[in-house]
Structures are given as C-alpha cells and as structure tokens.
Amino acid sequence: MVPAPTPPAPAPVPHVPVLLRPLMKAAAPVTGVWLDGTFGAGGYTRALLDAGAEQVIALDRDPMVFEMARAWAGDYGERLVLRQGLFSQMDEHVAEDVGLDGVVLDLGVSSMQLDQSERGFSFMREGPLDMRMSGEGPDAADLVNRASEAELADILYFYGEERAARRIARAIVTARSDAPLETTLQLAAVVESCLPRARPGQARPATRSFQALRIAVNREYEELFQGLMAAERVLKPGGVLAVVTFHSLEDRMVKRFFALRAGQGGGGSRHAPEEQAEPAGFTLDPRKAIKPDAAELAENPRARSARLRIARRTDAPARPVDPRAIAMPPVLRPAERGGR
C-alpha cells in the first residue's frame, strides 16, 4: 500500500504590515532614497519601492528575515539593498554625501518572530527562553536566572509597567532556586501564579512580563533613543521620519522626541532639564499619532495598540538629545555580568 503523504507543515503566518496605508498616504509622493530600519517581512520596503522610491536600504538585526526575502528581493535589482544591522547605527549604511528622503521604523517584533516557538518570544508556545532578535549576546534565560530580585523587579516595572513586579520577581527567584527556568511556558506559569486571571477580552497577564524581558534582552529603548537621533542625522531637509510604536512607553519617547525637536519641548522639570531654544529639526505632519481604523483592526487585530507618528526634517543641524528629556526609561542591563 502506498503510504499516505505527510501533510505539509503549516506555513508561518506572514507579517501583515501595520498602518501601511496612512504611512504611504502621508509620505506621498515617494521619491529618492529611503531607509527601512526594521525590514521584517519587507512589507514597508516593497510598498516604498512600488510607490516610486529609487532605492531602499533595508536593515534588520535578525539575519533570518533575509532568508525569507530571497524569493522576491531579486525582482528589485539594485534598487533594494539588504543589510543586517541595527537601526541605531543606520549612518554606517548611508553614504556620507547622501541625504535620505525618508526613514521608517516599525518597532518591536514581527509576527514571524512571535510565531516561531524556538525563538522564545511567546508565552503561548513552548520554547527556549531566548528572545534575542539577532540571535547574539545574552538571552532571556541569562536574565531570568542570573539577575538579582531587585533587578528583575526593575525590568518588569520600568519596561513592562507591571504593577506586580516585586511579587513576580520574588516568585522567579524562588522558582529558580530549585532549578533554572529554561522555557517560555515555565516562566509564564511562574508569572501567572502571581496574577489574577485575565477576564474575557483582556490580554493574558504574562504579556507585560514577556514584553519587559524582550525589551531588556534587545535593549530596545536604547536602540530607539539612538535610532531617532541617527535618523535626524541622515535625513535631508524635507525628508520624512515615520515611526510605528506598539506600546505606550515607546510612543511617549517618540512623541517627546518629535515635540522637543519641533520646538515644543515644554518647560523642563527636575527629571527633564529644559532644552535650550534651538532651531527646530523637524516639523510635525500631522501633529497627532495616527491609529489603525476599524477596517484595519478587523483585518489585523494585532494592530490594535499601534501608533504612527510622522515628522519632516528641516535644514537645522542635527543635535544630541538628553534621554531624560524624552522620558527614556532607565537603562537596565544585568545580563551583562556573564552568560550561563
């Protein structure tokens, strides 16, 4: 008897680009050289090339995304330049005498990263506690098993806005005293043992802790802080900076950076010293964040917390910004003390 064919493995769900329509509308007409600092599945890059960008320099810290792009990237020839790298270092990928027409940053993880259980990003799928987008450096298991209770509590509180941060940190330290926590589901069980169950329609309670650890492992706030300043350096006058965020701490940083560089810095405070009046580096266009509309939410529920902010570069010189003035959370990096 001929054996029944093995059913094919389910194809990974492709990443659906978020807020693409409003981004393309605000950026029109798209011309010249753009940099996509978060290439992912290439949704933004393709839309920019198809809309008329002469060239797109596409960066991603995750080497796997370029494997996935192999099937179509060649269609664009030299108009598409693929590079593995960090958007905080985007200057390195741009020729010194070329001012860019646009920079797009679509922050966070892609659906493909979340859905690959072996990457360890999801509390709903069993996998190793990894969470590194680039696959390099200390991973989430290093952090969870080595950081002190106080350090863990700070990460959960400052990066995940988790009110039960201390309780969860204590539970992690108790659990790891028996044996190291190695997997996503082990960690999720420890976190969820400290929190009330989610009501129908609410996010699972482990969401905030997993977000916090992912941000710490990938140093996402430092990347964003450096990335915003790098974008100001590489854009030419009139160039567009578009940033899509997925949670309130990131969005607050982008909002404050734009307000500060558009000359709306406010009066300063004990924590955020007043910036000197300087010529505005950006104009805001539009002034408020753009949210997904009902049609997009129906198509892609993962877009619900996305916010798009857009600004246009002026000809004022780029200058460094004080991280406190844009409400950057404190830098916490206990995993640097060594790997397992």
Ligand X SMILES: C[S@@+](CC[C@H](N)C(=O)[O-])C[C@H]1O[C@@H](n2cnc3c(N)ncnc32)[C@H](O)[C@@H]1O
Interface with ligand X (CB under 6 A)? 15, 17, 37-38, 40-44, 59-62, 65, 86-88, 106, 108-110, 133, 223
* Least distance between ligand X and beta carbon 85 (Å): 6
H/E element holding 294? Answer: helix 294-299
Residue 313, exposed/middle/buried by CB under 10 A (0-12, 13-18, 19+)?
buried
Q: C-beta of 109: minimal distance to ligand X in Å?
A: 6
The binding site comprises 42-44, 60, 87, 106, 113
CA 130 to chain centroid, in Å, comes to: 17
Burial of 177 (0-12, 13-18, 19+ CB in 10 A): exposed
Residue 93: count of CB within 10 angstroms of its CB: 16
Beta bridge partners of 132: none
Closest to ligand X by CB, 64 vs 280, is 64
Q: Give the residue ranges of the annotated binding site for S-adenosyl-L-methionine.
A: 42-44, 60, 87, 106, 113
Shortest reach from residue 158's CB to ligand X, in Å: 19
Tell me the closest approach of the beta carbon of residue 147 to ligand X, in angstroms: 22
Least Cβ distance, residue 300 to ligand X (angstroms): 11
CA distance 43 to 112: 13
**C-beta neighbour count of 5 within 10 angstroms:** 6
Instruction: Give whichever of 109 and 181 is closer to ligand X, judged by the CB atom.
Output: 109
Confirm if 206 and 123 have CB atoms less than 8 A apart.
yes
Query: What are the structure tokens assigned to 279, written together?
Result: 């010529």
For ligand X, the closer CB: 109 or 144: 109
Q: Which is nearer to ligand X, 59 or 165 (CB)?
A: 59
Indicate the length of the chain as a whole number: 340
Nearer to ligand X, 62 or 192 (CB): 62
Q: Cβ neighbours of residue 324 under 8 Å, at least 6 residues apart?
A: 271, 272, 273
To the nearest whole angstrom, how small is the minimum distance from the Cβ of residue 283 to ligand X?
Answer: 24
Q: Which is nearer to ligand X, 87 or 282 (CB)?
A: 87
Structural contact between residues 46 and 58, judged by C-beta atoms closer than 8 angstroms: no
For CA atoms 90, 91, 97, 103, the dihedral sign is positive
